[in-house]
Chain A
Amino acid sequence: DTAVSQTPKYLVTQMGNDKSIKCEQNLGHDTMYWYKQDSKKFLKIMFSYNNKELIINETVPNRFSPKSPDKAHLNLHINSLELGDSAVYFCASSAVGWEGSYGYTFGSGTRLTVV
């Protein structure tokens, strides 16, 4: 009964390729997020999305794009991968107005390695 699941867990790919990471939550939450954790373990917000609004961190290159087929899914597409994209990517979800009570629920991460 995984609350937030991401696939794949590991992804190794060559520079220039296009790849996707999938995320699904079964908590009924209305907002989903993508975070990037760099080699120094720093977690940085990339996107937040609910069915009304997409908020993009201005530092995220436009090679990254979130796509949400429905409320329970938020996939991350990355075009023309670069070495600097290597990191761990976390999906998370929250219920608007309940973040304080229940926190944000994170997936277990996808380790992306670009070679």
Chain B
Amino acid sequence: EDQVTQSPEALRLQEGESSSLNCSYTVSGLRGLFWYRQDPGKGPEFLFTLYSAGEEKEKERLKATLTKKESFLHITAPKPEDSATYLCAVQAYQAGTALIFGKGTTLSVSS
């Protein structure tokens, strides 16, 4: 069964304190691994797609990396506006086009 596990469930950081979020996955055939950001009361917002091990993508203070079994979302010098829930999801060849999500990591950044 295709599965996505994210850790930690919650993370509290001080402004400027860099850290990483983990997403480990088990999937029969990976088409793509997606990172989304979700703010309270809103729908998930697309951040990145990674396709193969070794791939990296960056956007402002966020950098996503991918290995054969997990992905990391690195947050460098976070700001309070980075506070949100970060969701990892996979698209598997056998599952059509639907995304399979992890339970998310809720990040709180205080000034």
Could you list which residues of chain A lie within 8 angstroms of chain B, going by C-beta atoms?
4, 31, 33, 35, 40-45, 48, 53, 55, 90, 92, 94, 96, 99-109
Contacts and interface: CB of A to CB of B under 8 A. Distances in A.
B101 A99 contact: no
B49 A99 contact: yes
A104 B99 contact: yes
A47 B36 CA distance: 20
Main SS at interface, chain B: strand
B96 interface: yes
Contacts of A33: 98
- Range class of the B interface residue count: 20 to 34
Given A92-B43, A100-B49, A101-B49, 4 more contacts: A42-B103, A45-B100, A55-B98, A103-B34
A101 B48 CA distance: 8
A45 B43 contact: no
Interface of B: 31-32, 34, 36, 38, 41-47, 49, 51, 85, 87, 89, 91, 96-101, 103-104, 106
A31 B89 CA distance: 17
Contacts of B44: 43, 90, 106
Given A41-B104, A43-B101, A108-B43, A103 B87 contact: no
Contact of B97 (A40, A44, A96): A96
Given A42-B101, A45-B100, A48-B98, A99 B43 contact: no
A48 B104 contact: no
